[in-house]
Structure 1
Amino acid sequence: MWAASGIVCSVVLSVFANTLSLPKLVLWCAVAVAALLTVYATARQFQNQASSVGGLDSIADMLAEATERLWYKASRTWRLNPEAPVLVSWTRDGKASLCSPDSSLLSEGLITELHDNLYQVPGRRQLVLVGAAGTGKTTAMLLLLHAALRRRATAPVDDRGDRVPVPVWLTLGSWDPDRATLSEYAARTVATMLGLPGPDRSPTGPAWRLVDERRVALFLDGLDEMPEQRRNAAFRYINKLAREGMRIVVTTRPAKRSVKDGGRFDFPVVVRLNPVAPSTAADFLLRDQTEENHPRWQELADFLRTHPRSAVAEALTTPLTISLARDAYADHDTKPIELAGIARPRDVVERLIGEFLDRAYSNDGGADRKRDDRRECRRAARERVTMTWLARQMGTDRDLIWWQIPTWAPASAVRMRCGGVLAATVLVIMMAGTFTLGTDAPWWVSLLPVGIAYLNSEWWCGRRIGKPPATLVWRRPTLRDLGKMMAFSALGGVLFGSIVAAKHSVWAGLAVVGMFVVMGVLGSGLGESFAGGLLAAATTPLADSPLITPYDAYRADRRRTVITVLSGAAAGGVFIGLLGLFDADVTTGVLWGVSIGLVLGWMGGMGPALLLAITRPAGRRSAKRLMPTLEAALDRQVLRQSGVVYQFRHAALQDHLRKVDVDDVDAA
């Protein structure tokens, strides 16, 4: 499209340059471009109307492939094991379910039985997985999702001749029912998973059609993690979709309030996770132990079998606490039997968490955790202090939204660092260019862009803190995007081009107009922040994408920032440098152009990755680099990933860190 526009304009200029005046040439070029845009928009409209059900089937298959990739990522993050290393028993809850309870437990082949006997049965539209914290609700849901994907791959049509829906995993912690319905939230997530451009995200796009035609099944994780004031609205939307035939799976904790408080399922088939029996916990603690470690764990296993009502037996009733015990006492010189001397289950869990953190952030441990270098030891201590600070800032929220971290630091400090980094960069460019290339301008003129850079960056930083990450997904611009480009180009080009033309010549004015056209096409070097353009059209938010990890989102946003900054610097340097030809001082024009373009690109590209890199937690003993600290905590199994955000491995781990004194952490 752009190549065709350029060819047409070139032909018009070459043929009529000597016969038509400059205004007529510009008018004919504008008419040619408008005609091409009209043809393009008409073709796009017919293309959208030509989409058929067969195309929707292929899009559903693409969504199934995207969900498969999501599952494999989640299996590594959550350490999923389809063989159920801890045998958790399942029971159908007859009191809360519309169906009569089975007499047998769903313990053998529980995922397959759960899928065949409950999930895929017609009419059972709300499968509710209920369990206490740490019982493996999310793990069971993800395994059920994978079973549904496998069954759909082998039998895409059910016994009634209907297409089997594609399971889609949605985390409810970030959903606000007051701003978006469940259908809108699901459609937005599906569009993100498929990488659909802006026009295909509309209510007539394929993502919305998949949801409206019930071609997807919603796996809703973490209903209990939603704020209390949002849950009643969430129940209404879930029940509404269930009445309309949507298949839904939900995980939640046992209710602590009565039905009168509002919030109940209309069509529930409730499955409860029962606590792990002491004998089962003992068997798992002994599994895969080496000959050297087996005697240590045998002592605790024997105690669990002979004292099933002890505090340690009551504490080790979930897969999470059992895994914590194995991780905390993995070293050969530790004694797991010391847990038998603790009087209360809550104290057992606290001891397990403390021992686990001590091992994760200490100089001891296995060969893969040896850190004999003092610098590494100090870094581990700073990382633990930082995780304590993050847990305190989160409060009772369970999602560690990494792009919100800059809002927890003093705003004035973040703004000063942001302005200082840009001002220092511009100062280096101006001074290096001035003393290396030479210029006729006074030396103090080089300091003016530095002040402009600091003031603009410091001011704009306050407006960008807390914004979600985004990436660049290149697509064809829409008519709205083209309108924004032309508006910016016309406004800036006519205003400044006429001034330059009056002072110098018509060609100088045209050079200014060309600069604004290019800047308008790029997005003024300002991404999605101001006038639009290619960068704005390609900017796609990542906050709702379940397919990428937090570090992937961080890198994508950082890459977007770099591209935007370099685009602004290049455009400004080239075209303001051309203006320098009319003053016989190209060097000054290039330096000023690069500096001003860098400022514009910095302002537009300023995203959470950049702000997180310059954010420093309160306290001199904290880690200086936050994203490496978060990734290290993920490697140490202190954190886990849930889509594009982090979460602590367990709420008890977050609560433990929130109550710890920083001085105690340093001493440890």
Structure 2
Amino acid sequence: MCGTLCGVAAEYEIHNHSSGPAGTNVQFGVNKGTIWFVGSPARSSAEDAREGRLRDLAAEVRSACDRELEKWGLRDRDALPVRWHTATDDLFDHWTKIQDDGAPVSLDGRFTTIRHTYETVESRRLVILGRAGAGKTVLAHRLILDLLTNNPTGPVPVLFSLGDWNPATELRAWLAEHLARDFLFLDTPDVAGKKLAEVFVERGLILPVLDGFDEIPADHHPSAIRQISTLDLPLILTSRPGEYSRAAHEIKAIGGAAAITLEDLTLDETHQYLRQSTGKRRGPAWDAVFNQLRTAPDEPANRNLTAMLTMPLMVMLARTVYNDNQGLDPGELLNIERFPTAMALEDHLLDAYLTTVYTRRTRRTNWDSDQARRWLGYIATHLTQRDTHDLTWWNLPATLHRRSRILITTVVVGLAVGIVYGLAVRPAIGPLVGLTAGITVGIAVGPVGGLAVGLTNEVGFSRGPTGREPERLRLSLRRRAPKSLSWLPRKRSVSEFTSGVAVGVGLGLGYGLAFGLALALGGEIGIGIAIALTFGITIGIAIGIANGLAGVVVSAFGDAYDLHATDPWTLLNRDRTITLARTAAAAVLTMALVVGIATGIGLETARGLLFGLGFGLVIAPVRLAFSAWGSWLLFTRLWLPLTCRLPWRLKRFLVDAYDRGVLRRAGSAYQFRHARLRDHLAAQGQS
């Protein structure tokens, strides 16, 4: 029998019962009493789904790390010989909180043994310290890749850039929020109603790799140490030594964490690396440089260059500039008049690096290194002012001043309202009258409605430094995420309603004022004002209801599951699709409500339909202005290129910069390859 077994022995009147998972049960002879078959409980479909999403996350993280290391040219055979030693005792917690037996252990190692070093720490909490350009982030990527390859059943290591974390926000919540942002398939709900990202963090299924403790503002370091210490999870943290040391001395080292300090490269290691990463005919040029450094180490030029060539970042730049560009002689690095300081040498390498990588022409690019440097400088300045390293397409409108955004929105939306309304009424009342009506509406409604849109839209920017967040849904008639009422974006619907009411009142008052002005010119001032107020408030509420309902209707057909939606441009495409769907839904609902209102107040059917069609079409540019994609179109694709601050084909430019290695990817955000490159470009952009 399969499943539950019942045996009956007539002469003994004994019943046997088997309880447990389905299987094959065999009974021999006569058994007295109850027989219990105890087995492991069957796995639920929810557990299977959760495990599948965890495997998906591991695959996405592995692919991203593999891609980054490949772009940096850091495979085992050509990796820099980065080494480290056990940090000083004051940067550790007590050994009794790190190792089970409390005995100190050596954590010394090199690039290819980072996993062994990490697994030597029994608490699985490790701090990686190193000066700027020492290779902390690269080493973190290597550790992530090694852990995923050699420990596939452990928690999934995920890199988080701490520069965007304010310790006023609880760390677990921040980790879950960034997981959901960068891996959209974790933005779906679990059976309990929580997002999968929250469940994974709470259950310890994520190994946080916290990159850039030093990028947190200094006054927040103590509270950051406290929060990280109370995070009861294995973790990895990277930082510059000075910032972490000051915080550790002021408060304490991170609880349960060991620490390692990255060492500088030696001249011999750098010499061998640069010689082996170029052709044999190029090697003697580097030999001459290093012979000079060894012969007279105290000369200022030699001292400056030696300091620079012990930093992995600068060595990588030197390889790109001089080994990939046969027209340059590395001997020029010893010119003390041209490069009087080590900083001057670094700035030269950064400039030469950009020139070198943008000298390589491709079919899809039509910009030179000077243009690229100017545009990258504008982006770097924006990131520096926001004190962040994350560049997302939806935060670029925030590079403009608030007054500029309001003015641009007012003008563009005002023009769009007038043109759209004129086109809508033109077939119904004739070309000339329709055009006149459109101009009249544009003059009367456009400025009022446009200003209402601009001011209301600005609320989205004032809520945070990044402006409006993109939509996280994918339209699908068959949702793959679990259905839950809590999943519907109710907050967004409320926001859409209030924004719609504010803009609708502006549009309605503008139209009502135009109509009331016509009556006032005929001597009926009181009637004109009454009509303007009544019309404005009524239409405002109607547009607000339409906006709110449009959000709910579209969300009902939305699905946040998309395994590969970690690419920023997938997010852009998704936001565009959802925005257009919401716009269409809002236009239809607005038209229906306005027609109903017009009919209810006694207007003839033709005029009611005309009002409905006009306002239904007018809501389209308004609704677009309220979206991340609409802001991208208006500010990033139109105004910033028009003022020569960004290229016309920004998406192509950013993808190209990533392909050239100038930018790297961190989830759905781009980052400059190194903070030093960002700061260098920002300084040039401000000069």
**TM-score normalized by the length of structure 1:** 0.71
Distance 1:615 1:271, change over 3 A: farther
Q: Kindly provide the CA deviation profile for residues 536-564 of structure 1, in whole angstroms up to 9, marking residues without a partner as x.
A: 9959799xx99724444444434433333
Q: Say which is worse superposed, 166-175 or 562-571, in terms of deviation.
A: 562-571
**TM-superposed deviation, 1:387:** 2.6
Counterpart residue number, 1:411: 402
Give 1:603 shift. Answer: 4.6
**Residue-by-residue CA offset, 1:280-317 (whole Å, 9 max, x unaligned):** 11222123424564454444455456566732222012
Matched, 1:424 2:415: yes
Q: Does 1:478 align with 2:485?
A: yes
Cα distance in 1 for residues equivalent to 2:489 and 2:673: 47
Aligned pairs for 1:172-571 within 5 A: 172-179=162-169, 181-191=170-180, 193=183, 195-196=185-186, 200=190, 206-242=196-232, 246-256=233-243, 257=246, 259-290=248-279, 293-300=282-289, 302-303=291-292, 310=302, 311-329=304-322, 330-342=324-336, 343-360=340-357, 365-366=359-360, 368=362, 376-377=367-368, 381-395=370-384, 397-402=387-392, 403-435=394-426, 439=430, 443-447=435-439, 449-450=441-442, 451-452=445-446, 453-465=449-461, 466-473=466-473, 476=483, 478=485, 523-525=548-550, 527=551, 532-535=552-555, 548-571=566-589
Residue 149 of structure 2 corresponds to 150
- Indicate if the aligned counterparts of 1:93 and 1:101 stay in contact, CA closer than 8 A: no
Q: Any idea what the Cα deviations from partners look like across 1:581-632, whole Å, max 9, x if unmatched?
A: 9523587356404323314523543555345425745995533545555444
Q: CA 1:133–1:550 in 2, change beyond 3 Å: closer, same or farther?
A: farther
The CA deviation at 1:482 is: 10
Per-residue CA deviation, residues 188-237 of structure 1 (Å, 9 max, x unaligned), is 34455362456549786654443333333222111111112222222112
Distance in 2, Cα, partners of 1:661 & 1:167? 36
Change (3 A) 1:559 1:197: same
**8 Å contact from structure 1 (residues 350, 656) kept in 2:** yes
Structure 1 position 170, deviation (Å) = 2.2
User: What code does the residue aligned with 2:673 have?
Assistant: R
Aligned residues: 561
CA distance in 2, matches of 1:64, 1:88: 31
Tell me which residue corresponds to 2:620: 598
| SS in structure 2 of the partner of residue 523 of structure 1 | helix
**Relative to structure 1, is the Cα distance of residues 393 and 263 closer, same or farther in structure 2, using a 3 angstrom cutoff?**
farther
CA deviations on 1:48-73 (whole Å, 9 max, x unpaired) are: xx997784465145224213312322
Deviations 1:140-176 (A, max 9, x none): 11221222222333xx3xxxxxxx3332332222222
SS at match of 2:585: helix
d(CA) in 1 for partners of 2:253, 2:306:
33
Paired with 1:293 and 1:252, the residues of 2 have a C-alpha distance of 36
Structure 1 residues 418 and 383: CA distance shift in structure 2, 3 A: farther
1:430 Cα deviation from its structure 2 partner? 3.5
Specify the code of the residue in structure 2 equivalent to 1:70.
V
In 1: Cα distance, 2:53 partner to 2:669 partner: 24
User: Structure 2: 5+ residue runs without aligned partners?
Assistant: 1-40, 502-507, 509-537
Please name the residue that 2:512 is paired with: none
Determine which of 62, 72, 95 is the counterpart of 2:63.
Answer: 72
Query: How far does the alpha carbon of each residue in 1:491-521 deviate from its partner, in whole angstroms, 9 at most, with x for none?
Result: 99xxx9xxxxxxxxxxxxxxxx9xx999968
Name which of 106, 110, 130 aligns with 2:109. Answer: 106
The one-letter amino acid paired with 1:210 is F
Q: Quick check: 1:90–1:105 contact (8 Å CA) kept in 2? A: yes
Greater mean deviation of Cα atoms: 381-390 or 430-439: 430-439
Instruction: Tell me whether 646-655 or 124-133 shows the greater mean CA deviation.
Output: 646-655
Equivalent positions of 1:43-58 (< 5 A) are 55-56=46-47, 58=49
Output the CA distance in 1 between the equivalents of 2:655 and 2:355: 18
| Structure 1 residues 261 and 636: CA distance shift in structure 2, 3 A | same
Contact kept in structure 2, 1:92 and 1:270, CA below 8 Å: yes
1:420 partner letter: V
Q: 1 CA distance for matches of 2:684 and 2:111?
A: 41
TM-score w.r.t. length of structure 2:
0.69
Q: SS at 2:200's partner residue? A: helix
Deviation at 1:185, TM superposition (A): 2.2
Inter-CA distance 353–603: structure 2 relative to 1 (3 Å threshold)? closer
Structure 1 residue 339: Cα displacement: 0.7
Give the whole-Å Cα distance in 2 for the aligned partners of 1:560 and 1:302.
Answer: 63
Distance 2:225 2:178 in 1: 19
Larger Rg: 2
3-state SS of 2:327 partner = coil
What does 1:118-133 correspond to in 2, within 5 Å? Answer: 118=121, 121=122, 124-133=123-132
Structure-2 residue corresponding to 1:160: none
For the 8 Å contact 2:162–2:210, the answer to whether it is kept is: yes
Within 1, Cα distance between the matches of 2:674 and 2:639?
Answer: 26
The SS at the match of 1:653 is: helix
1:344–1:182 distance in 2 versus 1, CA, 3 Å: same
Residue 634 of structure 1 aligns to which amino acid in structure 2? Y
| Structure 1 residues 595 and 448: alpha-carbon distance in aligned structure 2, compared to 1, 3 A threshold | farther
CA offset at residue 635 of structure 1? Answer: 3.9
Asked if the contact 1:129–1:250 (Cα under 8 Å) also holds between the matched residues in 2, the reply is yes
Give identity over the alignment, percent: 21
The 2-side partners of 1:347 and 1:101 are apart by 43
Distance between the aligned counterparts of 1:312 and 1:341, measured in 2? Answer: 10
Contact 1:63-1:190 at 8 Å conserved across structures = no
3-state DSSP of counterpart to 1:470: coil
Contact kept? 1:638, 1:649, Cα under 8 Å: yes
Q: 1:214 to 1:612 in 2, by over 3 A?
A: same
Query: How far apart, CA to CA, are the structure 2 residues paired with 1:296 and 1:369?
Result: 33
How big is the shift at 1:275?
Answer: 0.9
1:140 and 2:129 correspond: no
The match for 1:63 is 54
Q: Distance in 2 between matches of 1:662 and 1:619?
A: 20
The verdict on how the C-alpha distance between 1:207 and 1:651 changes in structure 2, with shifts beyond 3 A counting, is: closer
* Deviation for aligned residue 1:324: 1.0
2:664 corresponding residue in structure 1:
640
SS at match of 1:346: helix
Check whether the contact 2:421–2:438 (CA below 8 A) recurs between aligned residues: yes
Within 1, Cα distance between the matches of 2:487 and 2:558?
A: 13
> Please, which moves more after superposition, 253-262 or 332-341?
253-262
Q: CA RMSD in A?
A: 4.5
Residue 502 (structure 1) aligns with: none
When residues 233 and 434 of structure 1 are mapped into structure 2, their CA distance, relative to the original with a 3 A threshold, is: same
Q: Secondary structure at the match of 1:467?
A: coil
Cα 1:606–1:657 change in 2 (3 A) is closer
> Residue 255 of structure 1: SS of its match in structure 2?
helix
- 2:548 maps to amino acid: G
